[in-house]
Amino acid sequence: MGTYALRRILQTIPILFIISILLFIMVRSAPGGPLTAARRNPNISKEQIEAIEEKLGLNDPLPVQYGRWLGDMLNGNLGESIKFRRPVSDMIGERIPNTLALVGAAFFVTLLLAIPIGIWSARKPYSMFDYAMTTITFIGQAIPVYWLGLGLIVVFYVILKNPFTGDPLFPVGGMNSRGMEGDPLDTLWHLVLPVTALSLGWIAWYSRFLRSSMLDVLHEDYIRTARAKGLVERWVYYKHALRNAILPLITLIALDLPSLFAGALFVETIFSWPGMGRLFWDAAKGRDYPVLLGVVMITAVLIIVCNILADLAYGWFDPQVKYE
């Protein structure tokens, strides 16, 4: 497996190179630029703007700019933010733990609820529970994450109030309340609504996918054989059926992890969560090229890493898969 993993990693090098070229062209081809606001400022002369462009290297041909950016990136330098005049690696490093906390909590809640719901729906198909979960999951899949986030704010911050203090039921801004910085319990309280908004759609999707996969597996011959041997029904479901039914879900989860980060962009913006998604949004509004390229390259690497992890996880869950 180690040789296979090394081979896959080496195969990603040309892929990342091609991705970096395409991302650089798309980001730099977007309308506007980092000096758009300065050009509208009557107090800044055209000569001053040209001097800034020359200093930042924005006047150089795109191939020259790309070569300079790629060389810096290979040396571990993601550049300097045009807007904040800070190293991009420092800005991303400050935001990654916050995004990982949000996405990790949402992913944990998703699996914690989706897997039992999917298994129980498969064990009791077409029951009242199954019909209720089907209805709820269809609603969860149909609601966009940004609309759900705004709806949660309206319900749990504007309408519902704490009956004892009259304060909003849940906080909706930032990671901590004023004066409570560093308090883990306060951070968990701030996570409730963002995690709900981010995980509801994934719970709906994974639970229905696992239900369908379980129903297919339960009709296989080896399940009938296991029951004929007198195995306890719970052992049949969790030892034999689930282990095979969960294999397609592993691939789906691995491919969807980057989408969780993409969904975090909306959630972090709506709930003022100081993560990478909000950093990307602020950089996109200001056309801060180094920050944009740093965030999208990290996302591209994450997608490739998740694909490799999915392939390796297959070998761990399914002994029939050999990496030779």
The reported pLDDT for the residue numbered 319 is: 58
Q: What is the mean pLDDT of the chain?
A: 80
pLDDT of residue 35: 67
- 115-136 mean pLDDT: 85
At position 198, the amino acid (one-letter code) is L
Question: Tokens 């790309």 correspond to what residue?
Answer: 66
d(CA 295, CA 96): 10
The answer as to whether 123 is a domain residue is yes
Structure tokens belonging to residue 67: 């070569």
CATH code, domain carrying 303: 1.10.3720.10
Position 75 in a domain: no
User: What pTM does this model have?
Assistant: 0.79
Cα-Cα-Cα-Cα dihedral sign, residues 59, 62, 63, 65: positive
Q: Tell me, yes or no, whether 3 lies in a domain.
A: no
144: in domain:
yes
Provide the β-strand partners of residue 87.
Answer: 80
Measured in whole angstroms, how far is the alpha carbon of residue 110 from the centre of its chain?
Answer: 13
pLDDT tier at 83, thresholds 50, 70, 90: confident
| Contact present, 30 and 287 (Cβ < 8 Å) | yes
> Can you tell me the distance from the alpha carbon of 64 to that of 70, in angstroms, rounded to the nearest whole number?
10
Segment 110-133 shows an average pLDDT of 86
Q: How many CA atoms lie within 13 A of 265 on its CB side?
A: 15
Q: Residue 246: exposed, middle, or buried by beta-carbon count in 10 A (0-12, 13-18, 19+)?
A: buried
288: left (phi over 0), alpha (psi -120 to 50) or beta: beta
User: Above 70 in pLDDT, residue 37?
Assistant: no
Question: Which region among 79-88, 135-144, 156-165, 230-239 has the lowest average model confidence (pLDDT)?
Answer: 230-239
Mean pLDDT, residues 25-44 taken together: 70
Residue 311 has pLDDT above 60, yes or no: yes
**Residue 58 within a domain:** no
Q: Which two tokens stand for residue 283?
A: 């950089």
User: Sign of dihedral through CA atoms 135, 136, 138, 144?
Assistant: positive
What's the mean pLDDT in 124-145?
A: 83
pLDDT at 322: 59
- The whole-number pLDDT of residue 316 equals 65
Q: Which domain holds residue 168?
A: 92-317
> Looking at residue 159, what DSSP letter applies?
I
Q: Provide the number of structural domains found in the chain.
A: 1
Could you tell me if residue 82 is inside a domain?
A: no
> Per-residue pLDDT averaged across 137-155, rounded?
85
Residue 318 scores a pLDDT above 70 = no
How does DSSP assign 89-136, residue by residue?
A: HHHHHHHHHHHHHHHHHHHHHHHHHHHHHHHHHHHSTTSHHHHHHHHH
Residue 72 burial (CB count, 10 A): 15
Q: Tell me the pLDDT band of 33, cut-offs 50, 70 and 90.
A: low
Average pLDDT over residues 130-150: 84
Residue 239 reports pLDDT greater than 80: no
pLDDT of residue 320: 60
